[in-house]
Protein backbone atom coordinates (compact mmCIF):
# COMPACT_ATOMS: atom_id res chain seq x y z
CA UNK A 1 0.00 0.00 0.00
CA UNK A 2 1.31 3.45 -0.89
CA UNK A 3 2.08 5.86 1.91
CA UNK A 4 -1.07 7.56 3.15
CA UNK A 5 0.60 10.33 5.13
CA UNK A 6 0.15 13.48 3.08
CA UNK A 7 -0.35 15.93 5.93
CA UNK A 8 -4.13 15.68 5.98
CA UNK A 9 -4.37 14.22 9.50
CA UNK A 10 -4.90 10.50 8.81
CA UNK A 11 -2.04 8.22 7.93
CA UNK A 12 -1.13 4.63 7.27
CA UNK A 13 0.05 4.02 10.83
CA UNK A 14 -3.39 5.01 12.22
CA UNK A 15 -5.16 2.80 9.70
CA UNK A 16 -2.98 -0.19 10.50
CA UNK A 17 -3.41 0.42 14.22
CA UNK A 18 -7.20 0.54 13.88
CA UNK A 19 -7.28 -2.65 11.82
CA UNK A 20 -4.91 -4.46 14.15
CA UNK A 21 -7.02 -3.60 17.18
CA UNK A 22 -10.07 -5.03 15.44
CA UNK A 23 -8.14 -8.18 14.58
CA UNK A 24 -6.99 -8.64 18.17
CA UNK A 25 -10.45 -8.04 19.64
CA UNK A 26 -12.19 -10.51 17.36
CA UNK A 27 -9.45 -13.06 17.83
CA UNK A 28 -10.11 -12.81 21.55
CA UNK A 29 -13.84 -13.30 20.94
CA UNK A 30 -13.08 -16.43 18.95
CA UNK A 31 -10.75 -17.94 21.55
CA UNK A 32 -13.60 -19.09 23.82
CA UNK A 33 -14.90 -22.62 24.23
CA UNK A 34 -17.98 -23.86 22.39
CA UNK A 35 -19.96 -23.58 25.62
CA UNK A 36 -19.15 -19.88 25.91
CA UNK A 37 -19.71 -19.02 22.24
CA UNK A 38 -23.06 -17.20 21.75
CA UNK A 39 -23.70 -17.21 25.51
CA UNK A 40 -25.17 -14.08 27.07
CA UNK A 41 -21.81 -12.90 28.50
CA UNK A 42 -20.17 -13.53 25.12
CA UNK A 43 -22.81 -11.48 23.29
CA UNK A 44 -22.31 -8.61 25.74
CA UNK A 45 -18.58 -8.79 25.12
CA UNK A 46 -19.24 -8.75 21.37
CA UNK A 47 -21.27 -5.56 21.73
CA UNK A 48 -18.58 -4.01 23.93
CA UNK A 49 -16.07 -4.72 21.18
CA UNK A 50 -18.31 -3.11 18.58
CA UNK A 51 -18.96 -0.03 20.72
CA UNK A 52 -15.24 0.39 21.30
CA UNK A 53 -14.43 0.06 17.59
CA UNK A 54 -17.25 2.43 16.69
CA UNK A 55 -16.02 5.06 19.14
CA UNK A 56 -12.55 5.01 17.59
CA UNK A 57 -14.05 5.12 14.10
CA UNK A 58 -16.22 8.08 15.00
CA UNK A 59 -13.26 9.94 16.48
CA UNK A 60 -11.25 9.50 13.30
CA UNK A 61 -14.12 10.81 11.18
CA UNK A 62 -14.54 13.86 13.41
CA UNK A 63 -10.83 14.60 13.10
CA UNK A 64 -11.09 14.37 9.33
CA UNK A 65 -14.46 16.05 8.80
CA UNK A 66 -13.01 18.36 6.15
CA UNK A 67 -12.64 15.35 3.82
CA UNK A 68 -16.09 13.87 4.29
CA UNK A 69 -17.71 15.81 1.43
CA UNK A 70 -15.02 14.97 -1.09
CA UNK A 71 -15.65 12.10 -3.52
CA UNK A 72 -15.50 9.18 -3.29
CA UNK A 73 -15.59 9.40 0.51
CA UNK A 74 -18.91 11.27 0.51
CA UNK A 75 -20.61 8.29 -1.14
CA UNK A 76 -18.88 5.74 1.10
CA UNK A 77 -19.86 7.63 4.26
CA UNK A 78 -23.46 7.93 3.06
CA UNK A 79 -23.55 4.18 2.37
CA UNK A 80 -22.18 3.41 5.82
CA UNK A 81 -24.81 5.49 7.58
CA UNK A 82 -27.50 3.83 5.48
CA UNK A 83 -26.25 0.46 6.73
CA UNK A 84 -26.30 1.76 10.29
CA UNK A 85 -29.96 2.78 9.94
CA UNK A 86 -30.81 -0.70 8.66
CA UNK A 87 -29.03 -2.20 11.66
CA UNK A 88 -31.47 -0.42 13.99
CA UNK A 89 -34.20 -2.82 12.86
CA UNK A 90 -31.94 -5.71 13.84
CA UNK A 91 -31.61 -4.16 17.30
CA UNK A 92 -35.40 -3.92 17.46
CA UNK A 93 -35.77 -7.55 16.44
CA UNK A 94 -33.20 -8.64 19.02
CA UNK A 95 -35.16 -6.82 21.71
CA UNK A 96 -38.29 -8.68 20.60
CA UNK A 97 -36.27 -11.88 20.79
CA UNK A 98 -35.21 -11.11 24.34
CA UNK A 99 -38.88 -10.62 25.23
CA UNK A 100 -39.60 -14.04 23.71
CA UNK A 101 -36.84 -15.54 25.83
CA UNK A 102 -38.53 -14.09 28.90
CA UNK A 103 -41.70 -16.00 28.01
CA UNK A 104 -39.69 -19.22 27.71
CA UNK A 105 -38.13 -18.42 31.07
CA UNK A 106 -41.58 -18.35 32.65
CA UNK A 107 -42.21 -21.86 31.37
CA UNK A 108 -38.88 -23.03 32.74
CA UNK A 109 -39.80 -21.57 36.10
CA UNK A 110 -43.05 -23.55 36.12
CA UNK A 111 -41.18 -26.79 35.43
CA UNK A 112 -38.56 -26.08 38.09
CA UNK A 113 -41.18 -25.20 40.70
CA UNK A 114 -43.34 -28.21 39.88
CA UNK A 115 -40.69 -30.91 39.60
CA UNK A 116 -38.07 -29.46 41.91
CA UNK A 117 -40.42 -29.11 44.91
CA UNK A 118 -39.28 -30.88 48.09
CA UNK A 119 -40.99 -31.58 51.40
CA UNK A 120 -39.56 -32.86 54.69
CA UNK A 121 -41.07 -36.14 55.84
CA UNK A 122 -41.48 -37.35 59.40
CA UNK A 123 -37.91 -38.65 59.47
CA UNK A 124 -36.61 -35.16 58.59
CA UNK A 125 -35.18 -36.35 55.28
CA UNK A 126 -35.76 -34.66 51.98
CA UNK A 127 -38.18 -36.50 49.76
CA UNK A 128 -39.54 -35.36 46.43
CA UNK A 129 -43.33 -35.40 46.34
CA UNK A 130 -44.66 -35.46 42.81
CA UNK A 131 -48.41 -35.31 42.68
CA UNK A 132 -50.54 -35.66 39.58
CA UNK A 133 -51.16 -31.92 39.45
CA UNK A 134 -47.43 -31.13 39.53
CA UNK A 135 -46.70 -33.55 36.73
CA UNK A 136 -49.56 -32.13 34.68
CA UNK A 137 -48.33 -28.56 35.09
CA UNK A 138 -44.79 -29.55 34.22
CA UNK A 139 -45.91 -31.51 31.17
CA UNK A 140 -47.95 -28.57 29.88
CA UNK A 141 -45.09 -26.11 30.38
CA UNK A 142 -42.59 -28.44 28.71
CA UNK A 143 -44.93 -28.90 25.76
CA UNK A 144 -45.31 -25.15 25.30
CA UNK A 145 -41.56 -24.68 25.66
CA UNK A 146 -40.87 -27.39 23.09
CA UNK A 147 -43.30 -25.79 20.62
CA UNK A 148 -41.59 -22.44 21.06
CA UNK A 149 -38.14 -23.92 20.50
CA UNK A 150 -39.26 -25.88 17.44
CA UNK A 151 -40.90 -22.79 15.93
CA UNK A 152 -37.71 -20.83 16.51
CA UNK A 153 -35.49 -23.57 15.11
CA UNK A 154 -37.57 -23.82 11.96
CA UNK A 155 -37.03 -20.11 11.30
CA UNK A 156 -33.34 -20.00 12.16
CA UNK A 157 -31.30 -22.37 10.06
CA UNK A 158 -28.62 -23.41 10.60
CA UNK A 159 -28.57 -22.43 14.29
CA UNK A 160 -31.21 -22.81 16.98
CA UNK A 161 -31.29 -20.93 20.27
CA UNK A 162 -28.87 -22.51 22.68
CA UNK A 163 -30.34 -23.48 26.03
CA UNK A 164 -27.99 -21.21 27.96
CA UNK A 165 -29.55 -18.19 26.21
CA UNK A 166 -32.91 -18.50 27.98
CA UNK A 167 -34.07 -15.29 29.63
CA UNK A 168 -35.25 -13.84 32.92
CA UNK A 169 -38.44 -12.12 33.96
CA UNK A 170 -37.54 -9.99 36.97
CA UNK A 171 -39.41 -6.68 36.93
CA UNK A 172 -40.10 -7.08 33.22
CA UNK A 173 -43.14 -4.80 33.22
CA UNK A 174 -41.29 -1.98 34.99
CA UNK A 175 -38.29 -2.40 32.69
CA UNK A 176 -40.49 -2.29 29.60
CA UNK A 177 -42.19 0.89 30.83
CA UNK A 178 -38.85 2.58 31.40
CA UNK A 179 -37.60 1.48 27.99
CA UNK A 180 -40.65 2.90 26.26
CA UNK A 181 -40.21 6.22 28.05
CA UNK A 182 -36.51 6.53 27.28
CA UNK A 183 -36.95 5.57 23.64
CA UNK A 184 -40.03 7.68 23.01
CA UNK A 185 -38.11 9.95 20.67
CA UNK A 186 -37.16 7.01 18.46
CA UNK A 187 -40.69 5.65 18.01
CA UNK A 188 -40.48 6.41 14.31
CA UNK A 189 -37.56 3.98 14.10
CA UNK A 190 -39.90 1.08 14.98
CA UNK A 191 -38.98 -0.53 18.30
CA UNK A 192 -41.06 -3.53 17.32
CA UNK A 193 -40.56 -5.01 13.88
CA UNK A 194 -43.52 -5.99 11.74
CA UNK A 195 -44.66 -9.58 11.30
CA UNK A 196 -43.44 -9.58 7.71
CA UNK A 197 -39.95 -8.45 8.68
CA UNK A 198 -37.10 -10.85 7.91
CA UNK A 199 -33.76 -10.92 9.70
CA UNK A 200 -32.19 -12.76 6.77
CA UNK A 201 -33.29 -10.11 4.28
CA UNK A 202 -32.23 -7.30 6.61
CA UNK A 203 -28.75 -8.75 6.92
CA UNK A 204 -28.56 -9.02 3.15
CA UNK A 205 -29.61 -5.38 2.90
CA UNK A 206 -26.94 -4.30 5.38
CA UNK A 207 -24.30 -6.17 3.40
CA UNK A 208 -25.50 -5.04 0.00
CA UNK A 209 -22.71 -3.47 -2.08
CA UNK A 210 -20.27 -3.75 0.81
CA UNK A 211 -17.08 -4.31 -1.19
CA UNK A 212 -13.49 -3.41 -0.51
CA UNK A 213 -12.46 -0.04 -1.97
CA UNK A 214 -10.33 0.14 -5.09
CA UNK A 215 -6.73 1.28 -4.91
CA UNK A 216 -7.53 4.66 -6.42
CA UNK A 217 -10.30 5.19 -3.82
CA UNK A 218 -7.89 4.41 -1.00
CA UNK A 219 -5.36 6.85 -2.40
CA UNK A 220 -7.93 9.58 -3.07
CA UNK A 221 -9.26 9.40 0.49
CA UNK A 222 -5.88 9.04 2.15
CA UNK A 223 -6.92 5.61 3.45
CA UNK A 224 -10.26 6.67 4.92
CA UNK A 225 -12.10 4.54 2.35
CA UNK A 226 -10.50 1.44 3.87
CA UNK A 227 -11.44 2.66 7.33
CA UNK A 228 -15.11 2.98 6.31
CA UNK A 229 -15.10 -0.44 4.66
CA UNK A 230 -13.54 -2.01 7.74
CA UNK A 231 -16.17 -0.52 10.05
CA UNK A 232 -18.97 -1.51 7.66
CA UNK A 233 -17.72 -5.11 7.71
CA UNK A 234 -17.58 -5.07 11.52
CA UNK A 235 -21.14 -3.71 11.65
CA UNK A 236 -22.41 -6.46 9.34
CA UNK A 237 -20.67 -9.22 11.28
CA UNK A 238 -21.92 -7.99 14.66
CA UNK A 239 -25.51 -7.82 13.41
CA UNK A 240 -25.13 -11.32 11.93
CA UNK A 241 -23.77 -12.68 15.21
CA UNK A 242 -26.64 -11.09 17.16
CA UNK A 243 -29.12 -12.81 14.86
CA UNK A 244 -27.25 -16.10 15.36
CA UNK A 245 -27.41 -15.78 19.14
CA UNK A 246 -30.91 -14.39 19.79
CA UNK A 247 -34.22 -15.65 18.31
CA UNK A 248 -35.88 -13.36 15.79
CA UNK A 249 -38.03 -13.62 12.68
CA UNK A 250 -36.63 -15.55 9.72
CA UNK A 251 -33.08 -15.53 11.00
CA UNK A 252 -31.33 -17.27 8.15
CA UNK A 253 -27.58 -16.87 8.44
CA UNK A 254 -26.49 -17.38 4.84
CA UNK A 255 -24.76 -14.03 4.48
CA UNK A 256 -21.70 -13.62 2.30
CA UNK A 257 -18.78 -11.73 3.79
CA UNK A 258 -16.74 -10.28 0.98
CA UNK A 259 -13.42 -9.65 2.64
CA UNK A 260 -9.94 -10.61 1.53
CA UNK A 261 -7.77 -12.36 4.07
CA UNK A 262 -5.04 -9.88 3.23
CA UNK A 263 -6.79 -7.40 5.54
CA UNK A 264 -5.29 -7.65 9.03
CA UNK A 265 -8.71 -8.15 10.64
CA UNK A 266 -10.28 -10.49 8.08
CA UNK A 267 -8.79 -13.76 9.33
CA UNK A 268 -10.05 -13.34 12.89
CA UNK A 269 -13.57 -12.35 11.79
CA UNK A 270 -13.85 -15.12 9.19
CA UNK A 271 -12.53 -17.67 11.68
CA UNK A 272 -15.14 -16.61 14.21
CA UNK A 273 -17.81 -16.75 11.50
CA UNK A 274 -16.85 -20.33 10.66
CA UNK A 275 -16.83 -21.30 14.33
CA UNK A 276 -20.35 -19.99 14.82
CA UNK A 277 -21.61 -21.72 11.68
CA UNK A 278 -20.14 -25.03 12.80
CA UNK A 279 -21.51 -24.80 16.33
CA UNK A 280 -23.70 -27.81 17.17
CA UNK A 281 -27.37 -27.44 18.14
CA UNK A 282 -28.72 -28.20 21.58
CA UNK A 283 -32.27 -28.53 22.87
CA UNK A 284 -33.51 -28.21 26.43
CA UNK A 285 -36.54 -30.44 26.61
CA UNK A 286 -34.75 -33.70 25.92
CA UNK A 287 -36.82 -36.84 26.36
CA UNK A 288 -38.57 -36.36 29.70
CA UNK A 289 -41.30 -39.00 29.96
CA UNK A 290 -44.53 -38.82 31.95
CA UNK A 291 -45.79 -40.23 34.21
CA UNK A 292 -42.53 -40.56 36.13
CA UNK A 293 -41.70 -43.83 37.84
CA UNK A 294 -39.49 -44.04 40.92
CA UNK A 295 -36.56 -45.47 38.98
CA UNK A 296 -36.67 -42.41 36.70
CA UNK A 297 -36.62 -39.95 39.58
CA UNK A 298 -32.84 -39.68 39.76
CA UNK A 299 -32.64 -38.89 36.06
CA UNK A 300 -35.46 -36.36 36.39
CA UNK A 301 -33.79 -34.72 39.37
CA UNK A 302 -30.64 -34.29 37.34
CA UNK A 303 -32.58 -32.76 34.44
CA UNK A 304 -34.38 -30.34 36.71
CA UNK A 305 -31.09 -29.41 38.33
CA UNK A 306 -29.58 -28.70 34.92
CA UNK A 307 -32.57 -26.60 33.97
CA UNK A 308 -32.20 -24.70 37.23
CA UNK A 309 -28.58 -23.97 36.42
CA UNK A 310 -29.60 -22.59 33.04
CA UNK A 311 -32.27 -20.50 34.73
CA UNK A 312 -29.81 -19.04 37.23
CA UNK A 313 -27.21 -18.30 34.57
CA UNK A 314 -29.57 -16.27 32.43
CA UNK A 315 -31.08 -14.57 35.46
CA UNK A 316 -27.66 -12.96 35.86
CA UNK A 317 -27.13 -12.39 32.15
CA UNK A 318 -30.25 -11.21 30.37
CA UNK A 319 -30.82 -7.81 31.96
CA UNK A 320 -27.23 -6.61 31.30
CA UNK A 321 -27.61 -7.76 27.70
CA UNK A 322 -30.87 -5.82 27.32
CA UNK A 323 -29.09 -2.70 28.58
CA UNK A 324 -26.24 -3.31 26.16
CA UNK A 325 -28.62 -3.65 23.20
CA UNK A 326 -30.27 -0.37 24.19
CA UNK A 327 -26.83 1.24 24.40
CA UNK A 328 -26.01 -0.10 20.94
CA UNK A 329 -29.27 1.29 19.54
CA UNK A 330 -28.68 4.74 21.02
CA UNK A 331 -25.04 4.80 19.96
CA UNK A 332 -25.90 4.05 16.34
CA UNK A 333 -28.54 6.79 16.31
CA UNK A 334 -26.20 9.29 17.98
CA UNK A 335 -23.25 8.45 15.77
CA UNK A 336 -25.29 8.81 12.60
CA UNK A 337 -26.65 12.17 13.77
CA UNK A 338 -23.17 13.35 14.71
CA UNK A 339 -21.72 12.06 11.47
CA UNK A 340 -24.32 13.77 9.32
CA UNK A 341 -23.77 16.96 11.30
CA UNK A 342 -20.04 16.85 10.56
CA UNK A 343 -20.89 15.94 6.98
CA UNK A 344 -23.09 19.03 6.72
CA UNK A 345 -20.51 21.33 8.28
CA UNK A 346 -17.90 20.01 5.91
CA UNK A 347 -20.22 20.81 3.01
CA UNK A 348 -20.91 24.34 4.27
CA UNK A 349 -17.21 25.07 4.68
CA UNK A 350 -16.53 24.34 1.02
Confidence (pLDDT) at 166: 31
The pLDDT score that the predictor gives to residue 12 is 81
* pLDDT the model gives residue 248: 86
| pTM (predicted TM-score) | 0.76
Instruction: Return the pLDDT at 1.
Output: 43
Residue 47 is predicted with a pLDDT of 97
pLDDT of residue 150: 62
Smallest Cα–Cα separation from 239: which of 259, 260, 258, 253? 253
CB hemisphere CA count around 321 (13 angstroms): 31
What local confidence, expressed as pLDDT, does residue 348 receive?
52
| Predicted local distance difference test score (pLDDT) of residue 127 | 52
Below-50 pLDDT ranges, the chain? 1-3, 5-7, 117-122, 124-125, 156-191, 280, 282-290, 349-350
Q: Residue 304 has what pLDDT?
A: 75
pLDDT tens profile 66-115: 888 899 999 999 999 999 999 999 999 999 999 888 888 888 888 888 87
Q: What is the pLDDT of residue 181?
A: 36
Q: Who's near 79: CB < 8 A, 6+ residues apart?
A: 209, 232
Amino acid sequence: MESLNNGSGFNEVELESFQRQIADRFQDLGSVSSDELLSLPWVRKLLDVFLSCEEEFRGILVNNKGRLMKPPLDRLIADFYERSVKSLDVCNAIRDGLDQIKQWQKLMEIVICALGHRNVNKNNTNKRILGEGQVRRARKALSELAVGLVDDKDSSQPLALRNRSFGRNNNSSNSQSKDQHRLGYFRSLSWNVSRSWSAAKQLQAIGSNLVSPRANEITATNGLAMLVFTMGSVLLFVMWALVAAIPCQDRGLQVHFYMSRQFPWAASILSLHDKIMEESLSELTGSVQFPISEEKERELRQRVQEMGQVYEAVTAGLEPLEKKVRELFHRIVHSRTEGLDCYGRGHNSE
